């Protein structure tokens, strides 16, 4: 069994073993019932610790991919080989579908919405209400979707304003209700045939966010986010509180700027509520480490206000009753 270990890789050796053995089962290189090398044999062959191989084998057995039997050896499980192969074929089919959609210039969000539309068509007695929230920045979209997803029996989607304007049929064909802020309401109204499905909402930082922001005082502040628009939202929020900050600067997750250096010179870090969705793993680790070292991290939760949320709930019930 040929295994390639990269000791300089950021991935642990044990995880490399697990991933490569699973891949060999998926592609048929390792067949059901095939015997694997012993822990000692594989460790000696790869020049790694036996404990590392044992850990990998135990993980694979936990996944149901292999079976270790004392006195007989370690074998590929028949059911695991079938399931992994089946899963692999399914993943390949999905990958081909995604490539086809990309070739037609559909975004990931649009593809997801169209796929869900077809799923809905196949479901019997579907009384769920499809809500599409549209905004110009991904951070606000994620916050709002998380908030409205608690409404029972809804199917919620997020769509960037640019995508909605370029592909208006996404709203016409899929959405029962379209939710947006007053800033974008006129633009969306101009492309909707049924304007009654459009709901305007008021967005505001949560009370917990405002309370945390009020404690900043005369400290240096670093804003970390994915979009310039969300940075401006945070800055306006700070200005409304009249905070006496020494200086404020923004770091965009797509920037080539050295994040470690940026963090070093900031006392307070303000990030989107779900910032890990927008940053790389390395960036997330640096932010977490900064918090462990004593820097204050404020998650900026920007959401629909109470009155708007009740209005959305009432609209959902109205649409559901009419179905």
316 phi and psi angles, rounded to 5 deg: -60, -45
Distance CA 224, CA 230 (A): 10
pLDDT digits (tens, 9 = 90+) for 119-178: 777 654 557 888 999 999 999 999 998 888 888 888 888 899 998 998 888 888 788 999
Q: Is the pTM of this model over 0.75?
A: no
Domain boundaries, position 31: 13-83
pLDDT range class, residue 253, cuts 50, 70, 90: very high
Domain count of the chain?
A: 3
Claim to verify: residue 153 and residue 185 sit in the same structural domain: yes
Is 244 inside a domain boundary?
yes
**Residue for token digits 């809500």?**
131
Distance CA 161, CA 185 (A): 10
Which of 123-132, 194-203, 210-219, 229-238 bottoms out in mean pLDDT, i.e. has the lowest?
Answer: 123-132
Whether the predicted pLDDT of 230 surpasses 80: yes
Average pLDDT over residues 254-264: 93
Q: Which of 63, 83, 103 is the last residue of a domain?
A: 83
Claim to verify: residue 252 and residue 231 sit in the same structural domain: yes
Is 89 inside a domain boundary?
no
Is 115 inside a domain boundary?
no
pLDDT range class, residue 88, cuts 50, 70, 90: low
Is 68 inside a domain boundary?
yes
pLDDT (0 to 100) of residue 83? 57
Average pLDDT over residues 283-304: 93
Is 160 inside a domain boundary?
yes
pLDDT range class, residue 93, cuts 50, 70, 90: confident
Q: What is the CATH number of the domain that holds 254?
A: 3.40.50.1860
Is 257 inside a domain boundary?
yes
Claim to verify: residue 264 and residue 229 sit in the same structural domain: yes
pLDDT (0 to 100) of residue 78? 66
Is the dihedral angle over the CA atoms 65, 68, 74, 79 positive or is it negative?
negative
Q: What is the CATH number of the domain that holds 151?
A: 3.40.50.2300
Whether the predicted pLDDT of 229 surpasses 60: yes
Whether the predicted pLDDT of 263 surpasses 80: yes
Q: Mean pLDDT over all residues of the chain?
A: 88
% pLDDT > 90, the chain? 53
Claim to verify: residue 282 and residue 136 sit in the same structural domain: no
The residue with greater pLDDT, 51 or 85, is: 51
Q: Which of 83, 115, 135 is the last residue of a domain?
A: 83
């Amino acid at each position: 069994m040929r295994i390639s270990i990269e000791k300089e890789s950021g991935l642990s050796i044990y995880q490399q073993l697990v991933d490569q053995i699973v891949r060999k089962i998926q592609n048929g290189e390792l067949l059901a019932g095939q015997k694997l090398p012993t822990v000692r044999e594989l460790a000696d062959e790869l020049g790694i610790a036996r404990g590392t191989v044992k850990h990998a084998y135990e993980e694979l057995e936990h996944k149901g991919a292999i079976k270790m039997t004392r006195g007989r050896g370690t074998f590929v499980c028949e059911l695991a080989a079938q399931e992994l192969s089946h899963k692999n074929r399914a993943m390949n089919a999905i990958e081909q579908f995604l490539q086809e959609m990309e070739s037609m210039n559909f975004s990931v969000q649009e593809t997801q919405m169209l796929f869900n539309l077809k799923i809905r068509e196949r479901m019997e007695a579907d009384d769920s209400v499809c809500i599409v929230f549209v905004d110009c920045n991904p951070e606000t979209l994620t916050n709002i979707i998380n908030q409205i997803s608690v409404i029972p029996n809804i199917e919620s989607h997020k769509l960037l304003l640019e995508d909605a304007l370029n592909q208006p049929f996404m709203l016409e064909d899929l959405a029962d209700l379209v939710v947006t802020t007053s800033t974008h309401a006129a633009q969306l109204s101009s492309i909707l045939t049924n304007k009654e499905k459009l709901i305007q909402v008021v967005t505001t930082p949560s009370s917990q966010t405002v309370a945390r922001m009020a404690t900043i005082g005369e400290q240096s502040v670093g804003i970390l986010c994915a979009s310039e628009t969300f940075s401006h939202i945070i800055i306006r929020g700070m200005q409304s509180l009249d905070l006496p900050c020494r200086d404020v600067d923004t770091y965009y997750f797509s920037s080539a700027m050295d994040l470690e250096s940026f963090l070093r010179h900031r006392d307070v870090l303000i990030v989107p509520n779900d910032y890990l969705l927008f940053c790389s793993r390395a960036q997330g680790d640096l932010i977490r480490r900064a918090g462990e070292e004593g820097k204050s991290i404020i998650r900026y939760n920007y959401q629909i206000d109470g009155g708007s949320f009740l209005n959305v709930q009432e609209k959902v019930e109205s649409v559901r009753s009419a179905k």
